[in-house]
Structure 1
């Protein structure tokens, strides 16, 4: 993972006021505790300053920073898309986004290592996509299909015969393997806005 450069800190400072101690802590790498405090400070600064809130509307590669920051520090280089072994990262309007229509995210970290700006800094690998099971789900219709659950690397899908599968929202990372495993096209992936927080 590359070091955070000047563009990262400039974009960060435009949206958040921090103390001198906080600045030095950020420059020296900080701690996990200070990272979570920074996230809370960013969210609270949106409310206090009445600054515009940017809600993520598309899936970003794993490790993407908050949306308002991502849009400013992604330099549109496309290195993440070029390094993705699954070829599921596309550049749309110059910004990286995931397209899991014909593949899944292996969470391999290649995109994060390739990113020169820190837009994919690796703090949270949850893609924020969640499966929605459609009416053609074979398990709901006939009670005999477990393909989606078998392919889930985090065991987030529970199967009960003759009902739609149930997803554990907390352990699901949105990789899309379940969708690719379903030969009946009865799974769609939706961005979970509630997981976005205030970005």
Structure 2
């Protein structure tokens, strides 16, 4: 596996400016800094993606992740990898991250697509009818009987959406 290149570190340092005060602040308040530095995704990215600025700087549009995905869920848009969970779910196998030479995708990054389900009014449970397909299909058991989502358990795989035969579940990016 190839090491992180100069372009990656330049992008990292341009995004993470650290002063002496900031360094001490980061030591004493690391969670607060991490929450502030989190940036919204411009598009749905594959799992194991770096933060958006780093991803945009590191991804060179080579397409190796597209080829590596066993379910054809990744495509290039604007020379950057995007994830589409319209017809299949992502099992977060990590093959995309293993194939990424620039480390825009890397197994050390978060194993999450950052998609979360939203249940429309077409949901049978919301209409007081019996249905547990989304709950049963969720490998993380992140959906409760009253359609409450445990955001800590959910990894955005998309199994719930695919299991819903009335198309009442839409996946949206968490920001």
Q: TM-score, normalised by structure 2?
A: 0.84
Please give the secondary structure, in 2, of the residue aligned with 1:158. Answer: coil
8 A Cα contact 2:132 2:145, kept in partner: yes
Aligned equivalent of 2:22: none
- CA-atom RMSD, angstroms? 2.7
After TM superposition, the structure 1 stretch with the greater mean CA deviation from structure 2, 84-93 or 121-130, is: 121-130
Please give the secondary structure, in 2, of the residue aligned with 1:12. Answer: helix
Aligned equivalent of 1:130: 116
Of the three residues 131, 139, 151, the one matched with 1:169 is 151
What 5-or-longer segments of structure 1 have no aligned partner? 20-33, 45-52, 194-199
Q: Does 1:59 align with 2:44?
A: yes
Aligned equivalent of 2:84: 99
After TM superposition, the runs of 4+ consecutive aligned structure 1 residues lying more than 2 A away are: 13-19, 39-44
Q: TM-score, normalised by structure 1?
A: 0.75
Aligned equivalent of 2:173: 191
Deviation, 1:3, is: 2.9
8 A Cα contact 2:114 2:174, kept in partner: yes
Alpha carbons of structure 1 residues 2 and 154: separation in structure 2 relative to 1, 3 Å: farther
8 A Cα contact 2:42 2:52, kept in partner: no
Once residues 42 and 169 of structure 1 are traced to their aligned partners in structure 2, the CA distance between those partners, rounded to angstroms, is 16
Of the three residues 135, 138, 151, the one matched with 1:152 is 138
Q: Does 1:116 align with 2:101?
A: yes
Once residues 100 and 35 of structure 2 are traced to their aligned partners in structure 1, the CA distance between those partners, rounded to angstroms, is 23
Q: Does 1:141 align with 2:127?
A: yes
8 A Cα contact 1:60 1:96, kept in partner: yes
After TM superposition, the structure 1 stretch with the greater mean CA deviation from structure 2, 53-62 or 69-78, is: 53-62
Aligned equivalent of 1:180: 162
Superposed counterparts of 1:18-57, under 5 Å: 40=33, 43=36, 55-57=40-42
Please give the secondary structure, in 1, of the residue aligned with 2:93. Answer: coil
Please give the secondary structure, in 1, of the residue aligned with 2:118. Answer: strand
Once residues 90 and 115 of structure 1 are traced to their aligned partners in structure 2, the CA distance between those partners, rounded to angstroms, is 14
Please give the secondary structure, in 1, of the residue aligned with 2:96. Answer: helix
Alpha carbons of structure 1 residues 54 and 159: separation in structure 2 relative to 1, 3 Å: closer
After TM superposition, the structure 1 stretch with the greater mean CA deviation from structure 2, 120-129 or 81-90, is: 120-129
